[in-house]
A and B are shown apart, each in its own frame.
Chain A
Amino acid sequence: MEQLVYKKPDSIRDDYKITFCPGCDHGVAVRLVAEVLDELNVREKTIGIASVGCSVFSYDFFNVDIVEAAHGRSLAVATGVKRSKPDKVVFTYQGDGDLASIGIAETIHAMTRGEKVTAICINNTTYGMTGGQAGPTTLIGQVTTTTTKGRQVDISGYPLKISELLKEVDGTAYVARVTLDSPSAILNAKKCIKKAFEAQIKGLGTGFVEILATCPTNWKLTPQEAHARVRGEMSEVFKPGVYKDKVSEA
């Protein structure tokens, strides 16, 4: 007797449109968040925050209530939602430009307050939607449309290590950096995302997962080469791992 071992998660719309470029890890990250919402059985009480960037069309695929934030303000909007409706599950889905550049103040302060929300950050070392400019996480030497000779420290400074920074913030209950470059990495990422949601559901504080993701279009690499870059130079600078886990301790 044939058994169903995989299906599209219920937290993904039936009429979903994946608006990302071919091979972009965003699509996997979105699905993992949806699978976690399904497994925790919280879809019907979840409110998501769509940020500015490639994730702005979150309502095209997430089968949950969604409100859009201005660029960088997702965690402030999430604060407003959660404080007004404390019984809801609230998450933001943001890029690194949104969360760690224009929205770094909102990020740090929401987490300092220990807002019971979950923040998922896609770190692809570039501003994807605007065409691949240098962002806060662009690696030293990385060629982008605004660092055509590669990022130089004396001009553009250093890449920001988001997870290392946020683990130091007292209000975070879970901080992890994951990759999606292999089937096992994807399984691990899902576990971490689930913990980041459990952090808010258990009232421990903010849950945060930084996903090292590909941007094949702007990196000008094939999806396969892009994954090799995540495994290689990206993981060397941004070390994957669990940086803080009050969920397991609890």
Chain B
Amino acid sequence: MGRIVLNRDKCKACYLCIDSCPNKVLEVDEKVNNLGYYPAKVNEDKKCVGCAICARVCPDMAIEKVYR
């Protein structure tokens, strides 16, 4: 089991994290953030393994912490 802390207001919607997540835990949020983007968000129904790939590919350091 893993868990990520995603700061939705730092996300600029490149979705590189969504493409990289092996378990498709991340998806596009339907609400815009403070920057005006539709940020990535965690789908709680999917299983995060805490691999931290999303954090490592994120160019905006929007994924601030990853736990496992």
Q: What residues of chain A have their CB less than 8 Å away from a CB belonging to chain B?
A: 2-8, 12, 16, 18, 20-28, 31, 183, 186-187, 216, 223-224, 227
Contact = CB atoms under 8 A, between A and B. Distances in A.
B65 to A, nearest CB: 5
Contacts of A18: 10, 12, 59-61
A17 B27 CA distance: 23
A-B interface, 5 closest residue pairs, ranked by CB to CB distance from nearest: A27-B59, A23-B14, A22-B12, A6-B66, A6-B52
Interface string B50-68: 1011011111110111111
Contact of B61 (A4, A25, A31, A186): A31
B25 interface: no
B59 to A, nearest CB: 3
A12 B14 contact: no
A23 B16 contact: yes
Contact of B67 (A3, A21, A186, A224): A3
Q: Place the interface of chain B in its size category.
A: 20 to 34
B50 to A, nearest CB: 6
A241 to B, nearest CB: 21
Contacts of A183: 20, 53, 56-57
Contacts of A7: 64-66
Nearest to A18: B60
A20 B59 contact: yes
A6 B12 contact: no
A24 B60 CA distance: 9
Nearest to B62: A18
Contacts of B14: 22-23, 216, 223
B56 A6 contact: yes
Given A6-B65, A187-B56, 4 more contacts: A8-B61, A12-B61, A186-B56, A186-B57
Contacts of A31: 61
B16 A4 contact: no
A129 B53 CA distance: 29
